[in-house]
Structure formats: C-alpha cells, structure tokens
Amino acid sequence: MIELVQVPYSPFCIVQRRILEFAGTKFKLINIPNPDRSLVWKLTRRRYYEVPVLKDGRNVIFETSPDSQVIGKYLDSKFGMGLFPADMEGVQSIIWRYIESEIEGRGFKLNDAYYEENVPRGEHLGFIRHKERKFGRGCLARWREQQEQLLAELTELLLPFEEMVTHRPFLIDQRPRFVDFDLFGMLENFLYSGHYSLPSRYAQLIEWHRRIGSITIQSFQ
Ligand SMILES: N[C@@H](CCC(=O)N[C@@H](CS)C(=O)NCC(=O)O)C(=O)O
C-alpha cells in the first residue's frame, strides 16, 4: 500500500494527500513530528529531509529541486489522472511557481501565527527554532502582528484565481489539473488553524475550493 510521510499541516503534503484521495486509492498516512526528520532521512538513504515523501512498495519518491513535481508526476502516471498534459506543461509550471511562492509565502505565515494551537506542545521548541533560524528572531509574533497586512496581500494575490474559475470549473481546464491540487494544498495550509476563511468576495473561488476538495477521478472517466 502507498504510504505518505507527512507533517499534517504542511502545504506540500496536503497537495499529495488530496491527489491520493482524488485517485481513490487506499493509502496510509505516516505523520512525523516537524522537527524530527529521521524517518525521512532513513527512507531516502540520507538524501532528503523535507516532507512529503512517498513510499510505494520498494519505491521511495521525493522532490529533486524546489520546482520539481516528482511525486505529483509519479502518482499521475500510476493512476492516469491527466494532471500533467503535455500541451499544458509550460503554463502549469509558471502557475505552480506563483502558487508555491506568492500564495504559500503568505498562507504559511498566517497559519504559523497560531502555531501554539496547531503544533503539539512537545514540538514547540524545535518549531520555533526552525522558523527563527530561517526568518529571524520573533518572526512568529511578527506574523501575528502583520496578520491584517498579510491577509490583504493574500486576497490580492488570489484575484487571478477567482478570475480563472469564473469562466471554467477548474483553474485552466474543464477538469482538474495539477495546479488545482497545488493551490488547494496552499489554501488548506492557510485555513488549517480555523481562524481564517477564503475572502467572501471570491464566490467562484469558494465554490471551486469546495469542488476540488471533494471530487474523485471517477467523475472524469
Ligand atoms: N518543493 C518541495 C517543498 C517541500 C517543503 O518545503 N517541505 C517543507 C515542509 S512544508 C519542509 O520539509 N522543509 C524542510 C524543513 O522543514 O526542514 C515539495 O514540493 O514537496
């Protein structure tokens, strides 16, 4: 059975989890503590420490660069979901870069501002240290103070997606492609704390979010 090694609130893990649900396959989630990557290190034979990592029998799959989509493409070819059609390749890579930098960059800070509620107490030290080493001392409190500004930025950055789904059911097509799952993962991370909702003025995006969060491949076969 496929196993997904994840941190439950990680945006990049949510993308792959949702793709697995969409595929309708049985899979097992293995949650690891954010600060302890020893399982990932072991599974990847000391080549990787990020999440997610996918284990499919003897195959262990993980990303090779910040913009690779190795796991997504592996699952797509295994389950024939049509997430990466050749004629959409360039367009999708431009869109996922925007999603994984601009959208993710605001969403995770807004969610992390509530880390005390989301992250188990025993992991607080590792979590704070990890964030502060990357983003500077006091970054978590700063993100809480910057909440309004970050929310305003996120809302503006989401406008193109509202426009895209006003004219079709999914971002770039009549059926879901990889970028739909990618945006879903970043938004679920933003929404994880339960303190936010999608901007109410984006009625089409709210509908799309409901759709992409519930459909399975069967509806498209
Ligand atoms: N490009 C990678 C990014 C994965 C990633 O950034 N994972 C984060 C968690 S959301 C991570 O494990 N970072 C390394 C660390 O926390 O030490 C992907 O698409 O999977």
CA 113 to ligand 1 center in whole angstroms: 18
Per-residue pLDDT reduced to its tens digit, 164-189: 999 999 999 999 999 999 999 999 99
pLDDT over 70 percentage in the chain: 100
The DSSP code for 50 is: -
**Nearest-CA residue for atom 11 of ligand 1:** 50
Q: Which of 9, 12, 31 to mutate to test the pocket of ligand 1 (most atoms within 8 A of CB)?
A: 12
Q: What is the pLDDT of residues 68-86, one digit of tens each?
A: 999 999 999 999 999 999 9
Q: What percent of the chain has pLDDT over 90?
A: 98
Secondary structure (H, E, C), 135-184: HCCCHHHHHHHCHHHHHHHHHHHHHHHHHHHHHCCCCCCCCCCHHHHHHH
| pLDDT at 12 exceeding the cut of 90 | yes
Nearest-angstrom CA–CA distance, 17 and 33: 17
- Minimal-distance CA residue to ligand 1 atom 18: 12
Average pLDDT, the chain: 97
CATH topology (fold) of 86-214: Glutathione S-transferase Yfyf (Class Pi); Chain A, domain 2 (1.20.1050)
Q: What is the pLDDT of residues 114-170, one digit of tens each?
A: 999 999 999 999 999 999 999 999 999 999 999 999 999 999 999 999 999 999 999
Q: Centre a 10 Å sphere on the Cβ of residue 206 and count the other Cβ atoms it contains.
A: 16
What is the value of pTM for the model shown?
A: 0.97
Pocket of ligand 1 (CB under 6 A): 10-12, 49-52, 63, 66, 130
Residue type, 47: R
pLDDT above 90 for 65: yes
Q: Give the neighbor-by-neighbor strand order of the sheet with 27-31.
A: 27-31, 2-6, 53-56, 59-61
Q: Given ligand 1 and candidates 32, 51, 97, 115, which is best to mutate, with the most ligand atoms within 8 Å of its CB?
A: 51
Question: Strands (DSSP E) along 14-173, which ranges?
Answer: 27-31, 53-56, 59-61
Radius of gyration of the CA atoms of the chain, in A: 17
**Alpha carbon nearest to ligand 1 atom 1, residue:** 66
C-alpha span between 110 and 66 (Å, rounded)? 22
Q: What pLDDT sits at residue 221?
A: 82
Q: Who contacts 157 (Cβ-Cβ below 8 Å, separation ≥6)? A: 102, 103, 106
Per-residue pLDDT at 44: 97
Q: Report strand pairing: 53-56 vs 2-6.
A: antiparallel
Q: What average pLDDT does this structure show over 32-46? A: 96
The domain locations on the chain are 2-79, 86-214
CATH number 3.40.30.10 is the correct assignment for the domain at 2-79: yes
Same fold, 2-79 and 86-214: no
If residue 3 lies in a helix (H) or strand (E), which one and from where to where? Answer: strand 2-6
Helix H or strand E segment including 6? strand 2-6
